[in-house]
Chains A and B, each alone.
Chain A
Amino acid sequence: MPKTMYDKIWEGHVVEQRSDNVALLYIDRHLVHEVTSPQAFEGLRVSGRTIRRPDSIIAVPDHNVPTKDRHKPNPDPMSTAQLAALEANAKEFDLDYIPMDDVRQGIVHVVGPELGFTQPGVTLVCGDSHTSTHGAFGALAFGIGTSEVEHVLATQTLVLKKSKNMRVTVTGELPVGCSAKDVALAIIGRIGTAGGTGHVIEYAGPVIEALSMEGRMTLCNMSIEAGARAGLVAPDEKTFEYLKGRPYAPKAGQWDAAVSYWASLRSDEGAKFDREVLIDGSEIVPLVTWGTSPEDVAPVTGTIPLVESFKDRAKQEGVVKALEYMGLAEGTPITDIKVDRVFVGSCTNSRIEDLREAAAVIKGRKVAGHIIEAMIVPGSGLVKEQAEAEGLDKIFTEAGFEWREPGCSMCLAMNPDKAGPGEHVASTSNRNFVSRQGPGARTHLVSPAMAAAAAIAGHFVDVRDF
């Protein structure tokens, strides 16, 4: 029977079948950061357990780390304690640990791929929902809770229920001015934030094939915003090319065997998907979120929808609450929304291609006078190095942007980077939830090009006219 890529990776990792759709699944790769791991390590100590395969783990701090003044003491004692706990645990359990002052340090979901740790066909977990990012390589990658982190550390497995198969096919050709972020938002706008619940989404079609690895990571990153624990893209020549020579990638003697295994992973012709979604990529336009759920998207050329346009009563109530929080009225043109702050960064959009995309818009221009702060936060020290080698940092700072050190930064405001109450933020991150970027902050999710254009114009603007 023809199989999907998800079926193949799943079946290749079953240690024990428990019942019809529940299995003990083997986990190949584990990324660990400071926020969701301390209680797991403590659990191991309390039960006198050890880590089964330290060689399957990379530990790196990202959520809490300050993105400037790193040489100064961290002003937050609780962050300091959490960062210290990660370092101490990595040492005690003998893990590959990347400290804050290492050039490889960055956001886990940027670091894993960059080091070649993320590979096609592996099962990869992390105590972070955006682990779905790594599906861009054809890895079965998903976020887990802290109890599961402990379970993986101790047993190298998880007890899991198999998800259903869903395929999102994006046809045609993506218009100029649109990027992977717009594709992700278009999909979430179509199927909703619960549209992928219980499913693994495979992204397919010419638009996906044409995306770079960075673009595929952006797309898979936001699978969780569509409710799917994992996203997948079939590995191809671009994937192999990206991985070749990276530190954790297979070495010369094993490379050919690895590639032929990776090439066998794609979904078979005629494989059955439980749900299929078809999107015409040629019709995608730059999108902006106006509410407090990533499904609240509107084209930059459009308006905030009318409350009565939503059929469901509960959703109508949600929209009223969201607009109240956002300080916006239904029917308002998107380009009338003024922006107070701009953030280019996060595990969604902080890779070299994202920074190039922003720089192309920013070059030779200035940040609008009323913008409180516009910052660009590279996803890792290696991305930062590359951007500086290309002179992108100069383009940013000359325009009035701040150029920071790598970390999760203002995506989730658990470090010094925050937005103030009532401020509208043009953000390349993944969640526009209430108070996500700081208490009372109003987040609008956009692509790097759209965030850059908003910084220059001072309000949302169609980057295609820019």
Chain B
Amino acid sequence: MEKFTKISSIATPFPRVNVDTDIIIPAKHLKSIKRTGFGQFAFESVRFDADGNRIEGNVFDGERYKGAQILIAGDNFGCGSSREHAPWAIADMGYRCIIAPTFADIFAGNCVKNGILTVELPQDAVDALVLAAEGGQVINVDLEEQVVVCGNARYEFDYNSEQKEMLMQGLDEIGQTLTAKAAISNFEARQQRMTPWLYR
């Protein structure tokens, strides 16, 4: 997994509330058995009309926000389905960080596994960042310091320490967990004595 320490980039403003993972990537595009190539279908209903024509002026296409690595989003971003295709699609579009007032739990967890940092900031801070993004200002996100800086504004954010380490070091979580193999075996031996019906 790619490490995340800090980034400095313009941002795409998309502050709609309750954006669900069906909006991020519709189910009809989940049939691939690979992890890549989902970006072209991301936010399809925002980018294309019913006939498949690109909607002029949508924030995800065109020159205005080209190269943005930060997405400024609305409250409860990523609600709905657990599909990891949603962060795969967002990563495929080039984003490394999403800033919103809140995120849905499963989506936020899926982002970490894919090197995407989700930053929760109060609504007024997000509103200010939307304006800054629309003005083409560069936004700086520093995970080590847990701070977002934009012009003179500075917003500190909370972040889970385990996930911070995972992101900053780009760790392979399965590899990490397998170092606890003995503890897992001990747990199983104990559980099998107490609830043997769970083992076949």
Contact A197 B50 (CB under 8 A): no
Partner of B31, one of A82, A159, A198: A82
Contact status of A250 and B197, CB under 8 A, knowing A15-B187, A82-B33, A414-B28: yes
Contact status of A144 and B16, CB under 8 A, knowing A28-B198, A35-B30, A254-B196: no
Chain A, residues 144-157, CB within 8 Å of chain B (1/0): the string is 11111011001111
Contact B17 A318 (CB under 8 A): yes
Chain B, residues 100-111, CB within 8 Å of chain A (1/0): the string is 001011100110
Residues of B near A47 (CB, < 8 A) are 174
Residues of B near A436 (CB, < 8 A) are 22, 27
Residues of B near A157 (CB, < 8 A) are 177, 180, 184
Contact A55 B199 (CB under 8 A): yes
Residues of B near A55 (CB, < 8 A) are 199-200
Partner of B178, one of A19, A122, A154, A293: A154
Contact B83 A36 (CB under 8 A): yes
For the complex formed, measure the closest distance between the CB of B168 and the CB atoms of chain A, giving whole angstroms: 16
For the complex formed, measure the closest distance between the CB of A257 and the CB atoms of chain B, giving whole angstroms: 8
B142 interface residue (CB < 8 Å to A): no
Residues of A near B184 (CB, < 8 A) are 15, 24, 26, 52, 155-157
Q: How far is the CA of A140 from the CA of B111 in the complex (A)?
A: 23
Contact status of A143 and B82, CB under 8 A, knowing A148-B109, A414-B27: yes
Q: Interface-forming stretch among A208-216, A297-305, A363-371, A427-435?
A: A427-435
A314 interface residue (CB < 8 Å to B): yes
Residue of B nearest to A161 (CB): B160
A229 interface residue (CB < 8 Å to B): yes
Contact B23 A145 (CB under 8 A): no
A245 interface residue (CB < 8 Å to B): no
Contact A128 B82 (CB under 8 A): yes
A22 interface residue (CB < 8 Å to B): yes
A193 interface residue (CB < 8 Å to B): yes
Contact B114 A147 (CB under 8 A): yes
Contact A64 B22 (CB under 8 A): no
B53 interface residue (CB < 8 Å to A): no
Q: How far is the CA of A79 from the CA of B28 in the complex (A)?
A: 10
Contact B105 A197 (CB under 8 A): yes
Contact A127 B76 (CB under 8 A): no
Chain A, residues 1-37, CB within 8 Å of chain B (1/0): the string is 0000000000000011011001010101000000110
Contact status of A64 and B109, CB under 8 A, knowing A122-B198, A227-B76: no
Residue of A nearest to B15 (CB): A314
Contact B82 A147 (CB under 8 A): no
Residues of B near A261 (CB, < 8 A) are 194-195
B-side interface size class = 35 or more
Contact status of A314 and B17, CB under 8 A, knowing A155-B178, A159-B173: yes
Partner of B82, one of A127, A154, A254, A321: A127
Contact A159 B84 (CB under 8 A): no
A332 interface residue (CB < 8 Å to B): no
Contact status of A198 and B82, CB under 8 A, knowing A24-B180, A157-B177, A318-B18: no
**Sorted from nearest, which 6 A-B pairs have the closest CB atoms?**
A250-B197, A147-B113, A145-B84, A38-B33, A145-B110, A78-B31
- 27 A–B contacts from the bound complex (CB under 8 Å): A15-B183, A19-B161, A24-B184, A28-B198, A35-B30, A35-B31, A63-B27, A128-B81, A129-B106, A143-B106, A145-B106, A146-B84, A155-B177, A155-B178, A159-B162, A193-B18, A194-B104, A198-B105, A227-B79, A254-B197, A317-B16, A413-B27, A421-B50, A433-B80, A435-B22, A436-B22, A436-B27
State the A residues within 8 Å of B (CB): 15-16, 18-19, 22, 24, 26, 28, 35-36, 38-39, 42, 47, 49, 52, 55, 63-64, 76, 78-79, 81-82, 85, 119, 121-122, 127-129, 131, 142-148, 150-151, 154-157, 159, 161, 163, 193-194, 197-198, 224, 227, 229, 249-251, 254, 257-258, 261, 293, 295, 314-315, 317-318, 321, 412-414, 421, 431, 433-436, 439-440
- Given contacts A145-B84, A254-B196, A261-B194, 15 further A-B pairs with CB under 8 A are A26-B187, A36-B83, A39-B34, A42-B33, A52-B184, A55-B200, A63-B30, A85-B33, A128-B82, A129-B81, A151-B173, A154-B174, A156-B188, A159-B162, A198-B105
State the B residues within 8 Å of A (CB): 15-18, 20, 22-23, 26-28, 30-35, 44-45, 50, 74-76, 79-84, 87, 102, 104-106, 109-110, 113-114, 123, 160-162, 173-174, 177-178, 180, 183-184, 187-188, 191, 194-200
